[in-house]
A and B are shown apart, each in its own frame.
Chain A
């Protein structure tokens, strides 16, 4: 085989790699349709990086249903699961499995914003009830908002918007913004800048790392030379852990304070003391002085032998929201309009504190200020009371 020929095949092979992604769709399927049970379809990540998040959401949902004796509005609930693999290219197929094949009454999903947007396109057309239990993409309750689509988590903008005011109040008047270059990072960037600039802060440079690269050395060097008063960033999961460690290793910790929204969630065991003292804003945190949260944490730990996090709360609230809709129509799932009205006016008694639904169907909620203390994202105050997303482009507002 001559050289150039070999090379061509190599490239052809690489292209096939991408194509072969399509073969991996094995999905667990539980239960079958026949009775008059209400069917809830979970389209969540059960494999890959976000597997733990998907499980957390499902656990939260199931916990609420369990607390109600396995029934909502007197009707039994049947769960059907589809693994979305956090793969946007499979979003349509996976959502159609639940909508067309299983004919679910409610679809709950998902974590990854790209997949969630793929689902939204379908559920808008199908008119099926859809609760987004995590993904923070603005458009789902913005330009693409729809009466049948609700979100129980946050928008990327909402979680970080109050941060700027807090930073400025500490006398830190210049900041550098760092993010992954992708949709959620850009939306968070808008939120941060809007909040910070509106109180008089100055963003002296915006830095970005290609998604999903985790080589931060270049931006850390740049930060050291720019010498801002503060650094705000958007990274999550493994990248968050690595950014925190690299930030400390570059000697910047203690010199230039680091802020974020979800940077420190779920990574505190991995990063150890390097995260100590990092402040962030989010809709949930640890050591909340809320009775409901304490009860929730005990019940969750008892049911699943592990501690809940924000994802468990979002799953739990998704079930609460659905139950409010069902109760209003006495379990008559065919009365969708009645359910939607009740869900729009819902007041959710959540572990994160009571919240209501905005006209665009995104939570109006308190955004907490948190500080890393030991292995906790300890809530130290409320950064913004009852904050609603701006819901740009939504025709329902």
Chain B
């Protein structure tokens, strides 16, 4: 195999991994801080994609559509937290699984009622609708570089928020000991709502940003959800850095697995998971803020 081909595959893997990170980060954040297993997380990815499609058409601009979409998903996150999720924090995981599974069904039906069962393509914004010539017959769409840049920017933003800001400090304190934090005068309920809403919007942003490449289609969240659970488990549950490392590893394993062993494609991801869990049963990273 040519060296160029390997380098491009490396690029493919990292690019895929970064997108997965965006979804997995919200999942791991919500679990790490509130202890909730949110199976409906994939639905937010789907909602993001459908919002991008419908709002971009309504507003006439992809960017305006995304801006409105982000505001809507933050509100959606807050509402869901207050109405549904806050009742789950102290419950057994069985309740969490049952309720969030129910939410998947509800979101799918709502999607069907609101937007129908068709596949919808989202047009790539004019500004980024170009490509870079990599080899004589392979080009790389500019938009994919843009997606990667957004993912990297969000990863850095997330790190700075959690490690360097007062809000981040409170979030970390709340994750370690929520009662003590409350005693010190912090409104922990509000913090939970904020964190949950960040988690929801991360998944939705991933769905929106990815929509021009992925299209919007029914049940699109389910596949992403399964991959993201794998990422969260191998990265170390609750760790944002673990999610990043896990996502990149999965992206690379999937990419190279498809090329080197097409007969067993699909297995590569799970072989990687098994090896990592045998080596480090708690995942690659422990939660850094605990």
Contact = CB atoms under 8 A, between A and B. Distances in A.
Contacts of B265: 181, 208-210
B223 A212 contact: yes
> Which of A208, A220, A227 has the most chain B CB within a 10 Å cutoff?
A208
B253 to A, nearest CB: 11
B201 interface: no
Contact of B215 (A205, A245, A251, A252): A245
B262 A221 contact: no
B88 to A, nearest CB: 12
B23 to A, nearest CB: 13
A124 B254 CA distance: 40
- Interface of A: prevailing SS: helix
A349 interface: no
A241 B93 contact: no
A218 B138 contact: no
Given A215-B254, A252-B137, A245 B213 contact: yes
Contact of A225 (B2, B96, B258): B2
A47 B112 CA distance: 9
Interface string A170-188: 0000000000010000000
B96 A251 contact: no
Interface string A1-34: 1011011011111101100100110000000000
Interface in B257-290: 258-259, 262-263, 265-267, 269, 282-283, 286-287, 290
Given A227-B137, A242-B214, A17 B97 contact: yes
Interface size class of B (residues with CB under 8 A): 35 or more
B24 interface: no
Contacts of A205: 262
Given A3-B286, A270-B118, A214 B223 contact: yes
B120 interface: yes
B229 interface: yes
Interface string A192-212: 000000000000011111111
Contacts of B282: 3-4, 7
A267 B119 contact: yes
Interface size class of A (residues with CB under 8 A): 35 or more
B38 to A, nearest CB: 10
Contacts of A213: 223, 254, 266
B168 interface: no
Contacts of A217: 12, 15-16, 144, 255
Contact of A17 (B101, B137, B233, B254): B101
Given A13-B97, A51-B112, A251-B139, A218 B214 contact: no
A249 B131 contact: yes
B181 interface: no
Interface string A320-331: 000000000000
> Which of A16, A52, A266, A272 has the most chain B CB within a 10 Å cutoff?
A16
Interface string A27-63: 0000000000000000000011101100000000000
Given A14-B233, A218-B258, A238-B217, 12 more contacts: A1-B35, A3-B286, A16-B93, A48-B108, A208-B258, A220-B138, A225-B2, A225-B5, A227-B137, A249-B131, A249-B139, A251-B137
